Chain A
Amino acid sequence: MDDTQNRIDAAPLPGTIELARRSNLGVQLLHFMMLNYTMYRLAKSSH
């Protein structure tokens, strides 16, 4: 039985702090650098 839509309807929504974090330029710039480093490290260690 596909209850996906019920689960979506009951899923938690991101709070104000989380929404602000996702678009805050300073925080996102830091995350941008971290994501790039993580991806580079994963790619170099994979083969």
Chain B
Amino acid sequence: MARVVVLGAGVSGHTAALYLKKRLGRSHEVIVVSPGSKWNWIPSNIWVGVGKMTADKVVFPLAPIYRRKKITFHQAKAVALYPEGDLNSPRGQVEIVYTDPTRVGKTVRLGYDYLINATGPQLNFAATPGLGPDGGNTVSVCTPSHAVGAAKRLAEVITNLKSGSPQTLVVGVGHGTCTCEGAAFEYAFNVEQQLREAGVRDKAEVIYLTNEHELGDFGVGGMTFSSGGARVTSEAWMESLFRERKMKAITQAAVTRIDPGVINYTQIDGTENAQKFDFAMLLPPFRGVGLTAYDRDGVEITDTIFAPSGFMRVDADYTAKPFDEWTAQDWPKTYQNPSYANLFGVGIAFAPPHAISRPYATPGGLAVAPAPPRTGMPSGAMGKVVAMTIADMILKGALTPTHHASMGEMAAACIASTGTGLRHGTAAAMSMSPIVPDNARYPDTNGRDPRTTTGEIGLAAHWVKRVLHTMFLYKAKAYPFWYLIPE
């Protein structure tokens, strides 16, 4: 009997665990280790953050699902890897510390034959002084509890507006190297809609603050797509949307410090600015969760397995080279660690080989460089292909990965909500193929296939986002025929 351990139960890890169990059946063991007891459909946190959805609608307990699917679940945090085992056994091991209230703090080592690192990110609020809801001066929508706090603070701001006090609301990213600008963009527009519905929009200033070089970059270098029969850049598309909704934007910014009511940021031309605010939701940068690794003799080999960012090295080309020399082919295809063939890193947990958006820095050397997004659709796809590869290795004796899903080849769809409501909701639906531009394959269209790189704004896109919420919760709960719903 082979044992596969999956670290993390987010989109990528949970998808991998379900597909592994489906392929391997009862003959082999699948174990999931996750510090949280619940699964969270993160894209809908933005609706919790404006009070349009309750937190219980975006989460569900993992244990009953895993019990039903015969997957072993440990509510615990992984802290160390021993890919060569120890002096007693050559079998790989992972050390975990339980967060389960019944045995909190207890440490054990789990042996494994294959391990998938799908831990997701550590929310690095500490990277910017004053950032975040826990001891900082801003709110967040990264977790359901953060989003509930954001909704509460937004309600207070709306009360202030109703009493006649003008308010400034800033939504964006809280560091020069943040990713997930799309989520901040969505939240900004949902906040704006909430203010309009409350009848206080005219008294409020809504500002989108971002590290993107221009609007519509989203950490993927922007897009040129067909919209309504015309070719248009995502930058022009977004500028029009911002004007339509009377929203302001600050781009090319690295937030350096947040004091009570004041965001300090530096732009790439070196100007230092201070933006006053009454409400600020700024996303944190991500880093790896801080796993350490040791060889058989107990010598630390963390640098062999993980990049300095804490994310796991996989089959990417990490050779340092100028931005213009990076290619789509540098991106990983199998997510297998180059040092240990039974180790895989998926979702946010794998180390990207380079930025997709051109990185910039201030004259003082402060990075203003959006990190590549690796969430949602590609994250689920990675989880599935790695599960399929491991199943083939166990069941068919495959020696090398049998399934591939490179971000340099795969497409992604992004539905960015710009306001909720069955009749008056709206969203921007964008699809791109591939995610990482392939300039050799599509030299005349900024590296992307013009037939499948499209943009659409309207009520239909909101309906799609709402349907995705329901479908992915259904799939994640592993209800009948869950596997027919594509990642």
Residues of A that sit less than 8 Å from B by CB: 1-2, 4-5, 7-9, 11-14, 18, 21-23, 25, 27-32, 35-36, 38-40, 42-47
User: Across the interface, which residues of B come within 8 angstroms of A36, CB to CB?
Assistant: 464, 467
Would you call the interface of chain A mostly helix, strand, loop, or mixed?
A: helix
Which stretch (B23-31, B98-106, B242-250) binds chain A? B242-250
CB distance from B23 to the nearest CB of A (A): 15
Q: Is B190 an interface residue (CB 8 A)?
A: no
> Closest A-chain residue to B253, C-beta based?
A2
Query: Which B290-333 residues sit within 8 Å CB-CB of chain A?
Result: none
Whole-angstrom distance between the alpha carbons of A6 and B413 in the complex?
30
Binary contact readout B4-35 vs A (1 if CB under 8 angstroms, 0 otherwise): 00000000000000000000000000000000
Q: Is B148 an interface residue (CB 8 A)?
A: no
User: Across the interface, which residues of A come within 8 angstroms of B424, CB to CB?
Assistant: 23
Whole-angstrom distance between the alpha carbons of A2 and B214 in the complex?
9
Would you call the interface of chain B mostly helix, strand, loop, or mixed?
A: mixed
Binary contact readout B114-127 vs A (1 if CB under 8 angstroms, 0 otherwise): 00000000000000
- Please tell me if the beta carbons of B413 and A39 are within 8 angstroms of each other in the complex: yes
Binary contact readout B451-483 vs A (1 if CB under 8 angstroms, 0 otherwise): 010101111110110010000000000000000
- Please tell me if the beta carbons of B458 and A2 are within 8 angstroms of each other in the complex: no
Given known A23-B458, A42-B452, contact A47–B426 (CB-CB < 8 A)? no
Whole-angstrom distance between the alpha carbons of A29 and B249 in the complex?
32
- Please tell me if the beta carbons of A8 and B458 are within 8 angstroms of each other in the complex: no
A-B contact count (CB 8 A): 108
Known: A12-B240, A46-B378. 10 other contacts (CB 8 A): A1-B269, A5-B250, A28-B463, A29-B460, A30-B460, A31-B460, A38-B431, A43-B377, A46-B405, A47-B404
Q: Is B486 an interface residue (CB 8 A)?
A: yes
CB distance from A45 to the nearest CB of B (A): 7
CB distance from B246 to the nearest CB of A (A): 10
Partner of A2, one of B251, B413, B456: B251
User: Across the interface, which residues of A come within 8 angstroms of B244, CB to CB?
Assistant: 13-14
User: Across the interface, which residues of B come within 8 angstroms of A38, CB to CB?
Assistant: 413, 431, 452, 454
> Closest B-chain residue to A25, C-beta based?
B459
Whole-angstrom distance between the alpha carbons of A30 and B464 in the complex?
12
CB distance from A32 to the nearest CB of B (A): 4
Query: Which B372-417 residues sit within 8 Å CB-CB of chain A?
Result: 377-378, 381, 384-385, 403-405, 409-413
User: Across the interface, which residues of A come within 8 angstroms of B457, CB to CB?
Assistant: 22
Query: Which B166-185 residues sit within 8 Å CB-CB of chain A?
Result: none
Partner of B385, one of A22, A23, A31, A47: A47
* Residue of A4, A25, A38 ringed by the most chain B CB atoms within 10 A: A4
Whole-angstrom distance between the alpha carbons of A13 and B159 in the complex?
31
> Closest B-chain residue to A21, C-beta based?
B458
Partner of A42, one of B403, B405, B431, B463: B431
- Please tell me if the beta carbons of A47 and B243 are within 8 angstroms of each other in the complex: no
- Please tell me if the beta carbons of B240 and A11 are within 8 angstroms of each other in the complex: yes
- What 5 A-B pairs are tightest by C-beta distance, nearest first? A43-B486, A46-B410, A31-B460, A11-B239, A22-B458
User: Across the interface, which residues of B come within 8 angstroms of A22, CB to CB?
Assistant: 426, 457-459
User: Across the interface, which residues of B come within 8 angstroms of A44, CB to CB?
Assistant: 486
> Closest A-chain residue to B214, C-beta based?
A4
Enumerate 13 A-B pairs (CB-CB under 8 Å) in ascending A order.
Answer: A8-B215, A8-B242, A11-B243, A13-B244, A14-B244, A21-B458, A28-B458, A28-B459, A36-B467, A39-B413, A39-B464, A43-B486, A47-B403
